[in-house]
Structures are given as structure tokens and as C-alpha cells.
Chain A
Amino acid sequence: MAVVEPAPSFSLGPEIDQAEAKAGGRGRGRWRNNLGTWIPAGLILFVLVACFLGPTLLSLPSPVGGNILESNQPALSPGHILGTDPNGNDILSRLLNGGRSSLWIAVAVNLIGLAIGGTLGALSGYVGGIADTIIMRLLDVLIAFPSLVLTLAVAQALGPSMTNTIFALAFFSIPAFARVARSAVLRLREMPFMAAAQLSGTTARRMLFKHLAPNIAPQLITFGMLGMGIVIIIEGALSFLGLGIPDPAPSWGNMVATGQLSLSATPMLVVWPSVALLVTVLAFNLLGENLRARWSGR
């Protein structure tokens, strides 16, 4: 290994460098790799606006308590762009209101995971020793535990509701964030600037907040983007099994579940929430992947 090694230059990671080289210039390259971030980010913004402001802006009917006389209307019927479900509820309204609860839950679960899991993992990696061993073994138990089983049991124990779904899902977002934070801190600990900070007598508190936190934040945020997708899918699974959002209220998961009952007659009841799930999760995954590619060069 005594061969001349090229000095590590600042790189955005192979994929992006390549895109830049291919685009034949820095200007266009930048534009191209920004596009990978802006398209999914725009898509997420669109979904957010649609779900949170859409029902008011479009003055859609209520997602529950529909008139049974108006059941199963086809798409594009007057007042119901996507038609109505067997209970006479407006499908678009249920779709957007359902998305609202999915997104709320996903944000809450990831914030809890980030706050508790991120702190635990970072401390565990920074302090090391017995504390690290104990924390990591405890988290190993949670990770070895099949997550869906745990969430099913917790959801069953607490009863279906939005808050309880958040608690149930937070159970396994915490160990995941902790793992990411810990491995990021372990890598940072080897860096010269950490030794320099330590030698110059920086307080532990300052070390954590000024040196560690800003450096592990990108990785945690990237992981959080991917986590959004995962939580939306698992929340859907819980609602699908009847253990998430309780019934008359809409959620993408329970819309798919009730639509399944009449899959051959009215497939669109399954298709709409499925498309909503797919597009939203895809946007979060693309954004997460793109951010990861950007930051992986550091």
C-alpha cells in the first residue's frame, strides 16, 4: 500500500460525478443532479398540499357518513370526480383525508425515532464501554423481534387509534435510528477533528451538540426519508388488518382492505389508494436515495 495514493478529493459519489461528466459541464451537471432532488421533493409537496389543503380547497364532501343512496357511483359523476364507495362516500375525499392521517403518523413516528433513537445511538457510540454494550444488546432484542408482530400486539393491547398506532410503530423506528446514529458516530470518532476537539478540552456537551450532531444529521435525515416510506407502508398494513386507524375514518390501508372485498366488481376501490401509496412512498424513497448519493461522498 506504499504506492502513491491519490489525495482524497471532494466527491459527490460515483453516480453524481458520472452524471456530471456525462452532461459535459459543471453547469448542466448541477442542474441534472438537482433535478433528482427536486422532482421527488415537488411530488412530496404536491401530496402534502393535496392531502392537507385539498379537501378544503376543492370543497369535497365529508369522507364519512355518506348517503347510501349514492353508493358505487362511477368516476366522473357529478360532485364525485372519482365516484363513490359502497357506503356512498366520496372516494377522492377519503383518499385525501386518509393520506392526511398516514402522513401525520409517518412524520410523528420518524420524529420520535429520530429524537429517542438518534440520541440513544449517538450517546451509545460516543460513550462506548458497558453503556454501549447494554444499549446495543437491548436494541438487538427489539431488532430480532419481528416488527410486525410487535406492532400487532401493541396495537391490539392499546386498541386501534391514531396515537396508539404511532406508539406501536415507534417501537421499531427507535432501534433503527439508533443503529444508524451509532455507526455514524463510531466513524466520526476516528476523524482527526474529533481528536483535535478533545485535546483542546472541549466539553462533552459541546462535543455532542457542536461536533457530533451536525455531522450525523445528514445521515439521520436521509434515513428518515426512507423511514417515511417504510412507516407509510407498515401503517397501511396495520390498518389493512383492522388494527390501525379505526374503521369509519379513512386511511389508505383500510381503503385497500375494504376494497379487496369487492375486488372483481369494483377494482378501482383498491387501485386508487394503491396508487396513492405507491406514489408517496416512491417520492420519499427517491428523495432519500438522492440525498444519500449526495452525502455519501463525504
Chain B
Amino acid sequence: MTATATTPRVPADSRGPRASRVGRVTGSPVLRLVVKRLLMAIPIMLGVTVLTFWVLSLIPGNAAQQLLGPEATPEDIALLEQQLGLDKPGVVRYLEWLQGAVTGDLGQSIVSRQPVSEILSQRLPVTGEIVLLAFVVSLVLAIPVALLAAHKPDGVMDRISMVVSTLGLSVANYVLALLLVLVFAVTLGWLPAIGFVPLEDGLWPNLRSMILPSAAIGLPLFCFYTRFLRGDLVDQMQQEEYVTTARAKGVGSWSVLIKHAFRNSSFGLITIVGLNLGALIGGTVIIEQIFALPGIGQMLLQAINTRDFVVVQAAVVIFALVAVLANLIVDLLYAVLDPRIRYGSS
């Protein structure tokens, strides 16, 4: 608190010369925020894994029964259960799993005996590519469309974007996926209906197999971002005093919109994007199923069907980790962008 004594607290707007900047970083409320949020993530991750174990233990039947089929004798099943370690109580199995997971060892698949890390290294890139494509393209398209729409509220662009985004938000992604297949694969024959071409077979074939799945995920996302950003921009332009000030200074309308309003609206957009990332990954489950893509979602569905709990657990950990990390990054971006939060003056 000596810093406060020597340099009196100044309003955020009239920030002092460079001298105090160093002090701010080392005093680092940002660092404290990171640590605090990371500590908060630990109980959430623990809760998620406990919940998964519990829910999975409710599913009737186990991997031993699934592997041996309906003809197996109870003795055979009991033997295999013992070999696979399935006869131990759930709490013990969870603690054993947790012990491995903490050291980065997610165990091996009960069904295929393949290490989970190996399975993940094959499947993560596929899901990652779809999500990244959908995410980047929708965001890149949403920003200019929202700006155009907000520039003239109730204008032609605004109305078109409103109708499109309302429709896009009401369509289920599996329905959209099938309609896209119906139009672009079945009727027009431009793109493959299903299947995945790895990147090693060339960039274009790979992208071709990814266009429809990414579009099915990205289109609703685009609508969501556009709609949110447009609404926030219009609110800023109509209600905020800084907009009136800028206009009175003679700043052009596009300039006010982009340099002033958009800057402020980007906070809201970042929050929405972060909150959405978890749901986005979850949404890939059904899309991967429709397009027969070998990603995490398909792995999860197969694992649930074969009662391969180790693999299910790994998928859930990945999904939850993405959600938690996305929220963490949002908080950090906030702190970086907004001085009020950085200095904890709220």
C-alpha cells in the first residue's frame, strides 16, 4: 500500500506517465485474477468428473458385459470384470483414475486397450478443425454484417440481417446439416455428403469435407453473434453520452460506430463468445455423427454405447476444460481491455 501513499490515486482517464506502469504490472492484479480463477476452476473440474463417474455408474451394464455379448456366462463376466478392474467400488476406481489424470495419464480404453492420450491425439484435431473453422468464419462475417445493420437501424440491411438471424437461431443444427446435405450434396452434387479426408491428402480435399459440417455449426453461431452485436451497437449509439459527445465534435457516423461504439460492444461480444464455446463443442457430437467424422463427439457416442467409461470420462474432461478455459480467457481479456476491472475499482 506504499505505492498508494506516494502516488495518489488518479482517475483512470488521466493516467500518469510511464513511471507508474511498471509498478502496476508487478503489483499485478491481473496475475492475482489468473491465480484466483485457476483455483476456482479446480473444484469445478473435480465436480464435473465426480458427476460423470456417478452418472456413468447409473447406466446399467458394464464394459465386460458389452465385450462378451449376451451369450457370456456370469463367471466369464466376473473374470473379465476382475481383469479390467471393474469389480472395485466406484469410489476406488474414481480415485485411481483421478490419481492418473492429475499426472496427465488419462488411462487406457477399456474396450480397445489403446491409451486414451493416443485416441485423443487422433480425434482432437478433427473436432478442433470443425470448431475453429465454424468459429472464425462466423465471427469474421458477423462483425461487418452487424456494423452494417447497426449503421442504419431499421434500414434494409438491418431488416435482412434480422430475418436471417432469427431464422438461423431457430433452426436445429441437425436439421440444418441435413438440409445442407440435401441441397449441396444430393441435389447440386458440389460437396461430399459424409466422410472425412485427412489433411495429409491435400488441403482442398480436406476443406471440402469440412465445409458442410462447419457450416452447420457456424451458421447459427453467425446469427447469434450478429444479432447480439447489432443489438448492443444500437443500444450504445442511442443511449450513451460519449456517442453524443463524439457526434457533437463532428466525428463521422461510421467513425463513431466503429471506433467508439464497437470498441465498447466488443466486451459483450467477448463474453458471449466465451460462454458459447463450451456449447459449441457439445454441438459437434451430433454433427460428427451425421457427417461420419472421426472426432471427439463420435468417440463419445461410441464409448457411451460400449460402456467404455474411461474414454467417456476423457471426452467429458476435454469438453469441460474447454468451457472453463474459455471463461478464464474471457475474464483475462476483460482485465486487459478494461482498466476499471484491472485495478479492481468496481
Contacts and interface: CB of A to CB of B under 8 A. Distances in A.
Interface string B154-165: 100000000000
B238 interface: yes
Given A144-B324, A263-B181, A156 B235 contact: no
A138 interface: yes
Contacts of B43: 137, 141
Interface in B263-306: 278-279, 281-283, 285-286, 289-290, 300-301, 304
Given A144-B323, A153-B312, A256 B169 contact: no
Interface string A247-269: 00000010010001001100100
Interface in A129-160: 137-138, 140-150, 152-154, 156-159
Given A144-B323, A263-B182, A270-B182, A149 B286 contact: no
B179 interface: yes
A148 B301 contact: no
Interface string A8-33: 00000010001000100000000000
A223 to B, nearest CB: 15
A241 B301 contact: yes
A50 interface: no
A149 B282 contact: yes
B130 interface: no
Contacts, number: 130
Interface stretch (B56-64, B72-80, B334-342): B56-64
A141 B47 contact: yes
B88 to A, nearest CB: 20
Given A144-B48, A153-B312, A256 B175 contact: yes
A147 B178 contact: no
Contact of A148 (B283, B312, B324): B283
Determine the main DSSP class of A at the interface with B: helix
A217 B23 CA distance: 48
A158 B301 CA distance: 16
A153 B172 contact: no
B345 interface: no
A144 B52 CA distance: 12
B319 A149 contact: yes
Nearest to B174: A240
B137 interface: no
Given A14-B234, A22-B154, A156-B304, A237 B286 contact: yes
A229 interface: yes
B172 A281 contact: yes
Interface residues of A, number: 45
A86 B186 CA distance: 20
Interface string B107-126: 00000000000000000000
Contacts of A237: 172, 174, 286
A176 to B, nearest CB: 11
Given A138-B47, A150-B55, A263 B186 contact: yes
B172 A146 contact: no
B279 A278 contact: no
Interface of A: 14, 18, 22, 137-138, 140-150, 152-154, 156-159, 229, 233, 236-237, 240-241, 253, 256, 260, 263-264, 267, 270-271, 274, 277-278, 281-282, 285-286, 289
Interface of B: 43-45, 47-48, 51-52, 55-56, 58-60, 153-154, 166-167, 169-172, 174-175, 178-179, 181-182, 186, 234-235, 238-239, 278-279, 281-283, 285-286, 289-290, 300-301, 304, 312, 315-316, 319-320, 323-324
23 contacts: A14-B235, A14-B239, A22-B154, A137-B44, A141-B44, A141-B47, A143-B323, A146-B279, A146-B316, A149-B300, A149-B316, A150-B51, A153-B56, A153-B312, A154-B58, A156-B304, A159-B60, A260-B290, A267-B182, A274-B175, A282-B167, A282-B170, A289-B166
Given A149-B315, A149-B319, A277-B175, 5 more contacts: A144-B45, A148-B283, A256-B174, A278-B175, A282-B170
